[in-house]
Amino acid sequence: MANTVPPPSPASKLCRIIAVVILALIVLFGLAVLITWLIIKPKQLVYRIDSASVHQFNQNNNHLNATFDFIVKAHNPNGKISVYYDSIEVSASYEGQTIAFNTLEPFYQPHRNVTRLDAALVARDVALSEALSRDLKQQRTSGDIGLDVRIKARIRFKVGIIKLKHRTLRISCSPVKVHMSSLKSLETTSCDLDW
C-alpha cells in the first residue's frame, strides 16, 4: 500500500537548480542596489529664489519693457553626487503669459555645494492683452507684482567617476514678489521640483 514518490527526472532537477540560481541572482542584485543606495544616500536638490528686483520698467500701450533680476539659490545637499548643469533656461510669467526669458551659463556643481545664480530676464516690448495690461497696472499700484519663475535645466549627475545620462529638471517658483520700487525684495520663495 506504500505510495512511493517517483524519483525526480534529471530534467526537473536541472529546472530546480536554474530556478535557485536565478532567485539567488535576483536577491544579490537587490542587495547590491540597496547597498549602493545606502552608501550614496541620494537627496533631493533644493532651489529657492533669494531676491527679486526690477529695473527699467515701462508699461505703455499694452506693451512692456523691463529687466527682472532674480537670485536663484541652488543647493546640492548630496555628499557623493555632483551635478553638471548643461543648459539652463529661466522664464518669468505673469498670469500665465511668459513676459521675460533668458538662458544662464552652464556650470558644474560639486557635492555639498550652494551656488547663487544671477538671472537677469529681459522683457523687450512684450505685447500684453488688454486685460493682462490692466491687471498688471492695478497690481503695480499695490507696490509689488507676483510672477511665476520657471527654470528648465538639462542636468547630469556624477557619482564617483560615473556620469549618468541627461535628465530634464523643471523647477517652478511661485509667487515671486517683485517690488516696483527700486528696493530689492529679499523675501525668499521656495521652489518645486518636477522631473
Ligand X SMILES: *[C@@H]1O[C@H](CO)[C@@H](O)[C@H](O)[C@H]1NC(C)=O
- Chain residues 121-180 in contact with ligand X, contact rule CB under 6 A: 124-125
CB of 123 or CB of 150, closer to ligand X: 123
| Terminal Cα-to-Cα distance of the chain (whole angstroms) | 68
Q: Which of 113, 133, 174, 188 binds ligand X (CB under 6 A)?
A: 113
Beta-bridge mates of residue 49? 72, 189
- Count of residues of this chain found to bind ligand X when the rule CB under 6 A is applied: 11
- Burial grade of 140 (CB within 10 A; 0-12, 13-18, 19 or more): middle
Q: CA 67 → CA 64, 112, 182, distances in Å?
A: 10, 32, 12
Q: How far is the CB of 33 from ligand X (least distance, A)?
A: 30
Nearest distance from C-beta of residue 193 to ligand X, angstroms = 19
The span of 35-43, 60-68, 136-144, 184-192 binding ligand X (CB under 6 A) equals 60-68
The answer to whether residue 63 forms part of the interface with ligand X (CB under 6 A) is: yes
Stretch that binds ligand X, among 35-43, 87-95, 113-121, 127-135 (CB under 6 A): 113-121
C-alpha cell at 145: 507684482
Interface with ligand X (CB under 6 A), residue from 30, 42, 106, 110: 110
Strands of the chain, DSSP E: 46-60, 63-76, 81-94, 97-104, 107-109, 113-127, 144-159, 162-163, 167-179, 189-194
Tell me how far, at minimum, the Cβ of 58 lies from ligand X, in Å.
4
Pull the grid cell for residue 13: 532537477
Stretch that binds ligand X, among 25-33, 105-113, 127-135, 142-150 (CB under 6 A): 105-113
Q: Does 65 sit near ligand X (CB under 6 A)?
A: yes
- Which sign, positive or negative, has the C-alpha torsion 61, 65, 69, 70? positive
Distance (Å, whole) CA 158 – CA 101: 29
Interaction between residue 67 and ligand X (CB under 6 A): no
Using CB under 6 A, list all residues that contact ligand X. Answer: 58, 60, 63, 65, 109-110, 113-115, 124-125
